[in-house]
Structure formats: C-alpha cells, structure tokens
Structure 1
Amino acid sequence: MVQLAVTNLTFSYAEEAPPIFADLNFAPADGTFNLLTGPSGSGKSTLLKLLAGLYPQYGGVIQSGEVTVDGTAIAALPPYQRAQHVAVLFQNPSRQFAMRTVIDQLQFALANLQLAPAEIDRRITAVLSALNLTAFTNRALQSLSGGEQQRVALASVLALGSDLILLDEPFANVDAKGRTQLLADLKNLQETQHKTIILADHDLSGYAGLVDHVYHVDHATHTLTTPPLTDLPQDTPATPVIGQSLTSGPLAWADLGLGVDTRQLIRNAHFQIPAGQLGLLSGDNGAGKSTLFSALTQQHPFTGSITYGAQPVKQFKLRQWAMRVAEVYQNSPDQFIRIHLQEELDLSAQHSLHPDYWTPERIKAAVDQLNLTGLEEHVNYALSGGQQKKLQVLSMLIMGQPVLLLDEPFAGLDAQSLHAVLTLLQQTVQDLQISALVVSHQRQGVVPFMAYELHLADEQLTLIAGEEGTHDQQ
C-alpha cells in the first residue's frame, strides 16, 4: 500500500507559460477507484504524468509544491523503484511496446523490475489468465487490433504489481464488451488486491456504481473539483443507426476476402461506399475492421476485387491511389508530417484537392469550431490526445480525397468536441460529396450522424442499416 499526495502544486509547460495547475492539492484515498474527467486539453493526461513522475523529468516546470509517494518525492525515485509503486497506461498502447510478441513484451517489462525468472513466469501466467489473453501469448503485437493492443498494454501494467494504477483513456479503442470486462477486472483488482486506481476518461458511461470518487479538471481555476457520484449517467441501450437510401460512390469491392496469418477475417464481401454520406463500420475488437481499411488503401493483400470508378485497384499506382483513397489512422501522431499545428494545416492546404472550398477563411473558421484557436504554434506531439484527433481529422478533410476512411477518429474526445468534429465532418462530406466510412466503438453522440451501418462479425460484412441498391443521387 502506498499513499500518493499532491501538495500545493503549481505546474506549467514553460517558465513563462500560464499554469496548467495552480496550488493543487490531491490525495486519493488508498485502495479507492477514482475517475478523472474534463474536456479535451484540460490537463487530465498532464496530471497523470505528474503523478507518475514523468513530469517535470520529460517536460514542463514545477513552479511550487510536489508529488510524493509515502512522503518521498516521486521524481527522486529511480525508474525501477517508481514502477513498483506506480504503473501508468497511456492513451496510445503501441507507444508502450518495445518487443515483438505479447510474451516478449511482458517478460521485458518484468525483467526491468529485476525479478527472478520463476516470479516473472508466475506473474505472466496469472495476468494473461485474468484478462483472458492466454491465446494471445505468442501473437505479434503489430498483428493485433487497437483494442487488443490496449488489453495487452493493460496486462503489462497489471503484471508490474504496482499498488497505484494510472490509466489514461484506456478504453478509447476497445469495443463495448471489452470495456465492460476491463472495468470489471479493474474493480476486482481494487477490491481484492486493494489497488488504488485513477482513470481518466471522457466517456462517463459504465462507471455508476463502480467508482468511489469523481474528480473534474477545472480548466478555468487550474484545480480539481469533486462532482457528486449521482452526476454519473446510468447505462442506456445502444442507439441503432436509422438507415437512409444510399447514393452511389466510386469505391466498391466484390467477393472480397481478407485474413491475417492463418485467421480468415472476411469472406465474399460486396459493397459500394456511398458518396456524400457518413457510414459506420462496427464490430468487435479483432474482427478485421482496420485490416479492411488496410486492404482498401493497398497496404494489405486481399482476394476478390476492389475497384475505383469500375477500374481495378491494381491499375493504379500507389501515388495515384493515395490521391483517391485516404485514411485517418488510429494513432494521430503517425499522421503528422510537420512539427506545429499551423504548419500541418498549411501543408494540407498546399496539397488540397479543393482549394476553392478550403479557403484560409474556412480553415480559420474550422480551427475555431474545433476549439484549436490559440494552439497554432504548439507542437503537434505535445497536444492532448483529443486535440491531436481534431487536428488530424481537419488536416485530412482539407486534403479532400474522394474517399475517406476514418479509424477511431473520436477517441479521447469529450462530448462537445465530438459534436464539433462530427458536424464539421458531415458538412464537408456533403459539400464535397466524399465517400466516408468511420470505424468507431463509441455510439453515443455518433449514431445520429450516420446514414448507414456495416457490421463485421463471423467473417461476414453485413449492411444492417441503410437501403442499398437505390443509389439515389444527392
């Protein structure tokens, strides 16, 4: 058991910069489950990095106060000792991987604690069993879906045996079933092993009856407030997409088959992505949604046919295809080419296929709509996860390819940011008649913007909402 305490802490990203937190005091009770809330960019990730001792070692300045574990400044502890007390799971799980396979990654993480080989084996067996990941033991990490990678990253964190577990948007790419199971696993750890859990999340569903305390990052006062537990929403049934008549579009596939290693993911799929409408691609983690996008962008082998304007994909060079079919990646930083936000937008505008539409005035209005104004000179990689998502989506919309595939573009967005992104996305798709297909495990706030839903399960890609075959032109 450890006692974490933040005492009179004032922190900023630079000596002359305004504070992110001012005179902050925070001491979560030992063995409690704590939910950290707040809008995108409010400072949730910053606070977790402070609690883990990553700040100010790797960024920012503590103007006053300190973070301590059992009375010792956490920044003064060597990394291997720090990890024995505090474990952290970041928003992007792939950033925590250093090895090739699941078993290699777990062995590497535990070896850094200088544990005996027998203890390493015992912990690995226990955590893989607890999280139902035994079948993943020898899987290559890069072959896993985003949600599966998140579960493995969580296993790495839990195997460390730390008394304090910090989790930064741990369910961003996890399906509903996986989210429910992981929440149950965390609650069990808290109750049976007396772990202290601090979890940052923008989606507050599923926490009622589980968490002991809620802390809200107040961006105006640079402190934490404590809203009552009764403010947490009760779970509601998933809202179905109300299907519309589908238009025609340039990108289609027929008799499509996909697999990874020896696993078949899709068989005999047929579809044409409508133009001017947003579509939802749903399915459990590992079903093959991201693999489908990889095939549509010529990054994964397939059987059957993929065509653009009735021309087979193989008749296009990669550069030609990239000017027709674009993808918004799961991991935002993988998309960035420039260092600063404004530079990223300027580059997209320079190569836009619709410069008459994406005028400087329209881009400026979109930046303001997404609440990115004032961040133009910020480093892209230092933005919050939600701010990175908004920049990523906007930069790709400005590029304006006729087909846009978006892989979990809403991860890390609060409700207000989610609505702003979807409003901008829908308007641009309609104005430019873009064929847009979205992978998202989040349904609340997303479904009302969708014209149809494709569901991937049991190797079948099925249209479950929307009227295919009418192809009404808008």
Structure 2
Amino acid sequence: MITFDQVTVRYEDTAEPALREVDLTIEEGELCLVVGHTGVGKSTLLGAVNGLVPHFTGGTLHGRVTVDGRDTAHHPPRELADVVGVVGQDPLDGFVTDTVEEELAYAMEQLATPPAVMRKRVEETLDLLGLADLRHRALHELSGGQQQRVAIGSVLTAHPRVLVLDEPTSALDPTAADEVLAAVTRLVHDLGVTVLMAEHRLERVVQYADRVIHLPGDGRAVHGAPGDILRTSSIAPPIVDLARTAGWDPLPLSVRDARRAATPLRTRLGAAEPAPVRPAPPAGAPALLTARGVTVAYHGVPAVREAGLDLRAGEITALMGRNGSGKSSLLWALQGSGPRKAGSVRVTSDGTARDPHTLPAAEARRLVGLVPQTPADLLYLESVGQELGQADSESADGDTSPRARRILDRLVPGIAGTTHPRDLSEGQKLALVLAIQLAATPRVLLLDEPTRGLDYRAKAELTRIVAALAAEGRSVVISTHDVEFVARTADRVVVMAEGDIVADGPTREVIVASPVFAPQTAKILAPLPFLTVDQVTAALDASEDGDRT
C-alpha cells in the first residue's frame, strides 16, 4: 500500500537530512507506529505519504514514495485525498468550516460524495467518536480534546484507504483516547485501512501496533515487530522499561500480559515501601494563590462552578479530568486573562495579595505565568533567537543573561536561533514557549497540557525543571491527561468534572483509586503501591543490597 524506495529528504540550511535512504513497505491493513524523539523527522515521514513533503513543506526529496501505486512526487495532496486521510498535530490548523457537522461533511463535499451517503457517514462518525451531542457546536468553542476527535472524524468520513495520524491522542483524556484508538483499530481490522501513526505516549498505543518504525535521529528508519524494536530502542513506554528491569521475555506490550508475567516480581518486592517520587513539599508552606468561589460561564453555560483552591509554595499540583471538564477555563481565570463571572483570586508576592485580573498583562505574568494548550499563540517574532531574547529582556529580576536559551536547550536541544517559530514541530513550539514563560520566573506557573508533543526524554527534563521551580518556593499547576507524567511529577492531584472539583488529595491516593488515571506500573503491580519504574528499580536495588549484607 505504501512504499518508500531509497527516500532522502533534506531541508535548506540543515546540515543533515531529515530522512536518509529510507526503504520501507507498509502492507494494506497494517497499523504502523512511528516512534522517536522530538524533532527526528517523524512529521517529515508522515508528510511524505500524502505529498505534503515536499510539495508544501519545501525541501528536496530524493527517491520514490508510492501510495496505492501513485507516486507522490507527481501527485500533490489534492490528488491523493481520496486515498490518504491526514490528521496533523494541531487540529485547528486543518479546520475549514464553523461547526462540527459541517467539518465532518466537508471532505466528502470536495470528493462529490452523494448527499444520502454523506448523511449516513456523518451519523456513523458522530457515534463512532462520541460527538453526537456536539454536532451543532462551533469548533472554536470546543475543548482541545473535542477538537482532536472532530479532526479525526473529518477524515474518517471520506473512508480513506490510508490514515496518517500525527499525535492523535495528545489532547485526549485516557477514556477518549481509548475510544479513538478502538475506533482506529476497528478500521484496521474490519475495513483493512492502513494506518501510519506517530505518537509520543507509547503506553497508549503500542499494544495495537503491528509494526514499529523507529527513527533514531540520524535520518534512518529502523522497523520491525514492536517487541523486537522496543527491546533496544532509546524510547519506550513504562511497561517496556518495567519489563527490561524485571528481565521479562517475551516483552509484554499490554497491561494484561505484563500482569501475567509480574507475579515473581510482586513476590520479590514483597512488603517494600516505595520511595517517594520526589521530596515532600515543606509542611505548613504559605499559600501563594488563593481562589474562592471561582465561576466561569460562556453564553450562560457554566464551565467552572464555585471552584476553590489554595496553591502552596513548593507544591506541584496536577489538574486532571475528562475533556471539557473546565480545566483550561479554570487556569485562565486564575491567571487573570480569562473571564470570571464570580469569585476571587489573590496572589501573594512580597507580602501583598493582588488579583492578577486587575493588573497590566506584563505585571500579571510575573505573578502568574500560563502556557496555553496552543503555545504558538504566544509566538509572534521572526526567529527563535528573537523570541528568547525578548523573554530575557522582560525577566522580572533584570537578569539579561540567556536564561531562556538555557531552558530551551535543556528541554529540546539543537534548535537554531535563526529558525522561524512557525517552522518548529508542535513539541518544539511548546518547549520554546515554556522557556519564554519560565524566564519570567513567576511565583505561580500554570501549564495547560505541557507534555503534548514531548517525548519521554523531554518530559523527564520538564519534570526536573518543574521540581527545581518548586524547590525555589514556587507553586506549579499542570493540567494534563498524561497519567505517567503525573505519577512522576505531582505532589497533589485535583480532578474536575463538569466544572466542579470532585477530588483533591495526594497523588498516590487519587490516581491509584481510579482505574482511568492509574499509571501502567500501578496497574501491573497492584495491589502494591508502586507508581513508577524508578520506584521499582530503587526497591529492587535496596533488596539486593540487603541480601548482600
């Protein structure tokens, strides 16, 4: 169905090609998972399938890419639209209509699908992706996860033979992600659709893959069975890390298979108490931000209802909940830029409590920094270097050293200062905005889906940066669907549903009690109280040291 024949893609002003002599054949009805660190060429590989590379992205393509017998060098994307459906990293970039129902029908209109068929497919897709209640909603009113589902649905209605998905679950809560992946799997198994999917949250998708294509970063593409590739790859989900630690063979790729293999490991761990994921925040730390009765409504529809929070110095709080539960609305209200129908927010700095909503934007940013779901909204200059320099010049303490550059290099190294921000991948854009906001060193930092588009290495670095900020006495709130990141990073978890705060407590108590939010390690080793592979490794090392003594 898809063939790469000695494909090399090189962009102008880059020393090395994004892809180098890639030979690859993907059969009909195969689900291929593309893995690799941020910026190694995954989006380039996907874009070559429907001709976006090089027809629209620029660069030079050597070799030959064929899809269903059509050479993409001679068939631009519009001539492949009946065969290949593509969903990019940012769903808003692909929307061309105003409402959910119109967006689902648009692709079929361009392909001259008969009206009766269009109506039937729209209804099927609404049910398949759980969008029926949103059919008449404006696209800009939807949460990020709802927009992601609409974007996927808009290409499914055309019944493509090949489906290309770039981070399809990045903005989805665990339940919605499972629903989308189940739908994609049905397309593969029941209709023979070929799926090429790039995803950083491998724990969600690796069990569904027929084959893994690993891009190690030197332009090559190494492919094979998931177990064979992941056993030695530089990027792997927690279940694989746990299997490597325990020495399991064959390598389990699902929680079910891992639990079957885990009985000896649970016995070895015995009654061992896991070490804390990170040092506990200081007891009795003062509240840097106090919110009481915060209410947000849009067109009379409540998004947040009388929410109350105390954000304390040195504490990392995870804000969780299904898509549309009000997380982003609450963050914007706390930061001061978003609407607030009722309630109060006070941020304490230098002994003075102030409401950021009443302050000039620059001053409010020094009190409460916010990284939105769509970080590109904060990028407006012509180069990465200009963005970083502007951030340093606006820093609160007058430090003009390249602080933002250092933070960016820790998150995603190697981005040239001359690069235009719009040419970055979504993960790189996020890292750039994180560096810009962190350069202002706000007392309270709010991150809305900060791990979207980041690989495991970048997320580990983000955890270290966030922990360092908390150690300096700052308070950090992270709105996320990434349960693995929460398990490694957060002291406290707040769960929202339909605008209400329904749970608030220590991370272990909240996420282990929920089958939806529990990380893979907790599911595999239950009822033992382990959340991360690092905790398991530390416990095994301590047990071996005890045996030697």
What's 2:444 paired with? 403
2:372 maps to 1:332:
no
Q: Aligned partners of 2:76 and 2:488: how far apart in 1?
A: 49
What's 2:262 paired with? none
TM-superposed CA distance for 1:371, in Å, is: 3.7
Q: Secondary structure at the match of 1:207?
A: helix
Q: How does 1:154-193 map to 2 (within 5 A)?
A: 154-193=152-191
TM-superposed CA distance for 1:407, in Å, is: 0.4
Q: How does 1:97-246 map to 2 (within 5 A)?
A: 97-226=95-224, 228-229=226-227, 231=230, 233=239, 234-235=253-254, 244=281, 245=283
Tell me the amino acid that sits aligned with residue 274 of structure 1: R
**Contact 1:390–1:421 (Cα < 8 Å) also in 2:** no
Q: Aligned partners of 1:339 and 1:11: how far apart in 2?
A: 25
Q: How does 1:287-302 map to 2 (within 5 A)?
A: 287-296=325-334, 297-302=336-341
TM-superposed CA distance for 1:177, in Å, is: 0.7
Q: Aligned partners of 1:86 and 1:314: how far apart in 2?
A: 46
Q: Aligned partners of 2:16 and 2:453: how far apart in 1?
A: 24
TM-superposed CA distance for 1:160, in Å, is: 1.6
Q: How does 1:335-374 map to 2 (within 5 A)?
A: 335-356=378-399, 359-360=401-402, 362-374=403-415
TM-superposed CA distance for 1:81, in Å, is: 3.2
Work out which of the residue numbers 318, 321, 336 in structure 1 matches 2:364: 321
**Contact 1:49–1:55 (Cα < 8 Å) also in 2:** yes
What's 1:7 paired with? 5
2:418 maps to 1:380:
no
Q: Aligned partners of 2:58 and 2:332: how far apart in 1?
A: 37
Q: Secondary structure at the match of 1:67?
A: strand
Q: Secondary structure at the match of 2:387?
A: helix
Q: Aligned partners of 2:504 and 2:203: how far apart in 1?
A: 25
**TM-score normalised to the size of structure 1?**
0.90
**Contact 1:123–1:159 (Cα < 8 Å) also in 2:** yes
2:346 maps to 1:307:
yes
TM-superposed CA distance for 1:386, in Å, is: 1.9
Sequence identity (%): 28
TM-superposed CA distance for 1:303, in Å, is: 1.6
Q: Aligned partners of 2:435 and 2:468: how far apart in 1?
A: 12
Give CA deviations for 1:128-186 in whole Å, capped at 9, x if unaligned: 12212111100111111111110111110111211000000111110111111111111
TM-superposed CA distance for 1:121, in Å, is: 1.7
Structure with greater helix percent: 2
What's 1:430 paired with? 471
> Residues 169 and 306 (structure 1 numbering): CA distance in 2 closer, same or farther, change over 3 Å?
same
> Residues 279 and 314 (structure 1 numbering): CA distance in 2 closer, same or farther, change over 3 Å?
closer
What's 2:247 paired with? none
TM-superposed CA distance for 1:332, in Å, is: 2.2
Q: How does 1:38-77 map to 2 (within 5 A)?
A: 38-77=36-75
178-187 or 312-321, larger mean C-alpha shift: 312-321
**Contact 2:209–2:226 (Cα < 8 Å) also in 1:** no
> Residues 419 and 222 (structure 1 numbering): CA distance in 2 closer, same or farther, change over 3 Å?
same
> Residues 453 and 46 (structure 1 numbering): CA distance in 2 closer, same or farther, change over 3 Å?
same
Q: Aligned partners of 1:373 and 1:7: how far apart in 2?
A: 29
Q: How many residues align?
A: 461
**Contact 1:386–1:411 (Cα < 8 Å) also in 2:** yes
What's 1:414 paired with? 455
Tell me the amino acid that sits aligned with residue 373 of structure 2: Q
Query: How well do the aligned residues superpose, as a CA RMSD in angstroms?
Result: 2.5
**Contact 1:88–1:165 (Cα < 8 Å) also in 2:** yes
Q: Aligned partners of 2:362 and 2:394: how far apart in 1?
A: 13
Work out which of the residue numbers 299, 308, 332 in structure 2 matches 1:270: 308
Q: Secondary structure at the match of 2:312?
A: coil
Tell me the amino acid that sits aligned with residue 127 of structure 2: S
What's 2:480 paired with? 440
2:298 maps to 1:260:
yes
- Residue segments in structure 2 that go unaligned for 5+ positions in a row: 231-236, 240-252, 257-273, 508-549
Q: Secondary structure at the match of 1:352?
A: coil
**Contact 2:18–2:219 (Cα < 8 Å) also in 1:** no
Q: Aligned partners of 2:175 and 2:115: how far apart in 1?
A: 34
> Residues 368 and 321 (structure 1 numbering): CA distance in 2 closer, same or farther, change over 3 Å?
closer
- Residue segments in structure 1 that go unaligned for 5+ positions in a row: 468-474
**Contact 2:292–2:306 (Cα < 8 Å) also in 1:** yes
TM-superposed CA distance for 1:80, in Å, is: 3.8
Q: Aligned partners of 1:97 and 1:176: how far apart in 2?
A: 24
Q: Aligned partners of 2:306 and 2:493: how far apart in 1?
A: 18
**Contact 2:100–2:135 (Cα < 8 Å) also in 1:** yes
Give CA deviations for 1:310-344 in whole Å, capped at 9, x if unaligned: 44555434554344322101112112122222211
* Structure possessing the higher relative contact order (Cα contacts under 8 Å, 6 or more residues apart): 1
TM-superposed CA distance for 1:215, in Å, is: 0.9
TM-superposed CA distance for 1:24, in Å, is: 1.0
TM-superposed CA distance for 1:270, in Å, is: 1.5
Give CA deviations for 1:80-116 in whole Å, capped at 9, x if unaligned: 4311110111111111112221112223232122223
**Contact 2:34–2:197 (Cα < 8 Å) also in 1:** yes
Give CA deviations for 1:223-257 in whole Å, capped at 9, x if unaligned: 333354364734559x9999754632332211222
Q: Aligned partners of 2:68 and 2:499: how far apart in 1?
A: 52
**Contact 2:163–2:194 (Cα < 8 Å) also in 1:** yes
**TM-score normalised to the size of structure 2?**
0.78
**Contact 1:248–1:272 (Cα < 8 Å) also in 2:** no
